[in-house]
């Protein structure tokens, strides 16, 4: 299985790059190659206080933009190479799977 990089709170007060599995899109899913990710003030609560964290590491970022890399079956309104933006938690990574 392939992996990619993500930025995560790895413990209270610590941010680092981690390796995570790269998903393969299934039915009605799209794999996005992330070009831009955002961090907001809420990410500081996650990092500094462990707010809303069940366990570490916790991937940061509430939104990102990028290009469609792979399409799952049933996707007819997007094409590989389309530029997209979206809001989804844990978006600060190289690729992300969306539905």
What pLDDT was estimated at residue 64?
Answer: 93
- Rg (alpha carbons) of the chain, rounded to whole number: 14
What pLDDT was estimated at residue 71?
Answer: 97
Structural domains of the chain, ranges and CATH numbers in brackets? 3-98 (3.90.180.10)
Q: Work out the number of other CB atoms within 10 angstroms of the CB of residue 5.
A: 13
Q: In which band, very low, low, confident or very high, does the pLDDT at 89 lie, cut at 50, 70 and 90? A: confident
The reported pTM is 0.87
Partnered with residue 18 across adjacent β-strands are 6
Closest to 69 in 3D by CA, of 20, 35, 18, 19: 35
Closest to 78 in 3D by CA, of 90, 86, 70: 70
Average pLDDT over all residues of the chain: 93
- Beta carbons within 8 Å of 66's beta carbon, 6+ residues apart: 32, 33, 34, 35, 36, 83, 84, 96
Residues 49-66 have pLDDT tens digits of 988 899 999 999 999 999
On the question of pLDDT at 1 being above 80, the answer is no
Q: Work out the average pLDDT over 2-26.
A: 95
């Amino acid at each position: 299985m392939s992996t990619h990089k993500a930025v995560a709170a790895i413990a209270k007060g610590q941010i680092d790059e981690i390796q995570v599995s790269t998903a393969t899109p299934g039915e009605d899913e799209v794999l996005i190659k992330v070009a831009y990710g955002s961090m907001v003030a809420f990410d500081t609560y996650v990092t500094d206080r462990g707010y809303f964290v069940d366990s570490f590491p916790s991937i940061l970022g509430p939104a990102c933009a990028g290009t469609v890399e792979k399409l799952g079956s049933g996707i007819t309104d997007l094409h590989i190479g389309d530029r997209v933006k979206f809001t989804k938690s844990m978006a600060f990574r190289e690729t992300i799977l969306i539905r």
